[in-house]
Amino acid sequence: MPGFHHVEIWVDDISVARRSWGWLLGRLGFSPEQEWPEGSSWRAGGAYLTLTESPNLADPAHDRRRSGLNHLAFRGGMRTEVDAIVADAPDHGWVQLYADRYPHAGGPDHYAGWIENAEGFKVEVVADR
């Protein structure tokens, strides 16, 4: 079966990451799967996403503009659901990106919101067509 098995994101501070990511993943339909002192995982469908505070980090700062992960894009449901997530995001540690072009920053036929958390991770929440 094609598709992702899981995605693991290394973070500098797991307690900070749990607050912002935990809220967002819950809103997107993910369920908490596991939690341990250095990490947490959430599951949706056949895949899961893990946040880990690793002692092996080469640099604690994530920069989406460097080689590597730029952003993750999630299915956000109906347009009203995407609007609600983008509106609520600032209360949970996320800032809206491209607000001047929302919801069509990706083009006239693409309805999505882009948000970024305090650690610099960017997420795109895409509405169903």
Domain boundaries, the chain: 6-55+68-127
Averaged pLDDT score across all residues of the chain? 94
Report pLDDT digits (tens) over 43-94. Answer: 998 999 999 998 888 887 888 888 888 999 999 999 999 999 999 999 999 9
pTM: 0.92
The CATH code for residues 6-55+68-127 is 3.10.180.10
Sign of the torsion formed by the C-alpha atoms of 70, 73, 79 and 85: negative
Task: Tell me the two tokens of residue 76.
Answer: 């956000």
pLDDT at 59: 82
Q: What is the DSSP string of the chain?
A: --S-SEEEEE-S-HHHHHHHHHHHHHHTT-EEEEEETTEEEEEETTEEEEEE--TT-S-S---TTSSS--EEEEEEESHHHHHHHHHHGGGGTEEEESGGGTT-TT-TT--EEEEEETT--EEEEEEP-
